[in-house]
Amino acid sequence: MTTVTTRPSLDEIRGWLGDVPDPEVPAVSVMDLGIVRDVQWSGDELVVAITPTYSGCPATSVIAFDIETALRQRGIENLRIERRLSPPWTTDWVTEEGKRRLEAYGIAPPAEEAGGPSPFERLLRKPLVIACPRCKSENTRRISEFGSTPCKAQYQCHDCLEPFDYFKCI
Amino acid sequence: MSDQAALFEYLLRLGDNALILGHRLSEWCGHSPALEEDLALSNVALDLIGQTQLWLNLAGDVEGRGRDADKLAYLRDARDFRNVLLVEQPNGDFAATMARQFYFDAWHYLLLRELTGSKDSRIAEIAAKGLKEVTYHLERSREWVLRLGDGTEESHERMQTALDDLWMYTGELFETDEVDQAMIRSGMGPDLSTLHEPWLGLMHATAEEATLTLPQPGWAQRGGKRGMHSEHLGYILADLQFLQRAYPNATW
């Protein structure tokens, strides 16, 4: 006879969190973006650790609320959302699926690994070539280092002429 | 001064620099020369206000008197603010805002990079988070110094004027006092004077590329770190703190 447990498995919970969209980039989930750092049972309490993408990201509290709402709807009553600052969030944690979804949504995904050259070095090198997420042309230019949110930069494609967001590396 | 008191002072400096510059930048919201710049300035402001929350909440914890970031931001008067004079200087024209930003970003970057090695893991964690953001701030403000310096006759003139006018507020960034000494002794913070050389190197390289002339070292205006501010800070606080002063404990 197997033991009957009413507690959902961690994989199941991660699956549910995979359906919680990021409030500012709803094409990707909070799992795709690597915002959820850990899901653990601590006794009867479920502890979900999340990390902010940027210090001032106003979406962080909305994300915590959305996660809580989603888990409560699944019947988890005893839960705690923990904010974790270290190690700091990096675009390297965006999953391959997340990158694919970003591009399909019209946002160019991060183009290199984070933590490369320091700014003092980076200042002196040529800017990255970012391909247009719509027509794939590499004939693009950066309009601004900051886009509609702190995590994105603004680009424009010279071929299809569309402006687009680039999810920049951090 | 006890180690705890020194640490509290030090954290106020870090938090207040970010808060006051973040507020200054937020004043541009809706007034920038282009939509992209409006977004960018607001985003940099947002990063800085986010860092403020982290630093000032930690300061409140260290102080142990029940003050959090909001209480420290909204309920202190000018003499209790510990930001450097540079960040409270008026926005001026776009060139002045960018010159102020470039001077500050380069220093901020170097400081946070050192603080990631702080013996206090709480400081190291916040610094590591902030450093990623400040990297973009620096890249952007440097590009504007280049673009305006090596731009039209008028943009060149305005950027040169901005660099000249703000120069006297940069000396304070590299001075160490008893608070900094206490941080150096405990391995929590760097010797600020060691940041001067790399900072100056970037300033010279950038000025040259931008066809600008970097001012000569000279008399430095100082006092912000000890609470002696220019008249500008009071006006900033009048705006920043109005709601909490008029309606104490208001929340939303």
- Tens of pLDDT, residue by residue over B120-158, are 999 999 999 999 999 999 999 999 999 999 999 999 999
B19 — contact with chain A (CB < 8 Å)?
no
Nearest CA distance, A149 vs chain B (angstrom): 7
Q: What is the mean pLDDT of residues A136-152?
A: 86
What is residue A48's predicted lDDT score, i.e. its pLDDT? 96
Nearest CA distance, A74 vs chain B (angstrom): 29
Q: Which of A88, A119, A144 sits opposite B40 (nearest CB)?
A: A144
Residues B19, B22: Cα–Cα separation, whole Å = 5
Nearest CA distance, B98 vs chain A (angstrom): 14
Domains identified in chain A, total number: 2
* Mutant choice from B39, B133, B134 vs A, greatest count of A C-beta within 10 A: B39
CB contact under 8 A, A170 and B54: no
Contacts of A57 in chain B (CB under 8 A): 46, 50
Same domain flag for A107 and A146: yes
Same domain flag for A70 and A17: yes
Radius of gyration of chain A (CA): 19
Same domain flag for A39 and A79: yes
User: Residue B222: what residue type?
Assistant: R
Find residues 78-117 of chain B whose CB sits inside 8 Å of chain A: 109, 113
Same domain flag for A124 and A75: no
Q: What is the ipTM of this complex?
A: 0.78
Residue ranges and CATH numbers for the domains of chain B are 3-246 (1.20.1260.10)
The three state secondary structure string of chain A is CCCCCCCCCHHHHHHHHCCCECCCCCCCECCCCCCEEEEEEECCEEEEEECCCCCCCCHHHHHHHHHHHHHHHCCCCCEEEEECCCCCCCHHHCCHHHHHHHHHHCEECCCCCCCCCCHHHHCCCCCCCCCCCCCCCCCEEEEECCCCCCCEEEEEECCCCCEEEEECCC
pTM here is 0.90
CB contact under 8 A, B39 and A168: no
- Tens of pLDDT, residue by residue over B42-81, are 999 999 999 999 999 999 999 999 999 999 999 999 999 9
CB contact under 8 A, B132 and A170: yes
CATH code, A60: 3.30.300.130
Query: What is the extent of the structural domain holding A143?
Result: 98-167
Nearest CA distance, B122 vs chain A (angstrom): 9
At which of A60, A83, A106 does a domain end? A83
Same domain flag for A24 and A79: yes
- Tens of pLDDT, residue by residue over B199-229, are 999 999 999 999 999 999 888 999 999 999 9
Residues B207, B194: Cα–Cα separation, whole Å = 21
Contacts of A117 in chain B (CB under 8 A): none
Find residues 183-242 of chain B whose CB sits inside 8 Å of chain A: 198, 202
Chain B CA closest to residue A168: B136
- Tens of pLDDT, residue by residue over A62-116, are 999 999 999 999 999 999 999 999 899 999 999 999 999 999 999 999 887 655 5
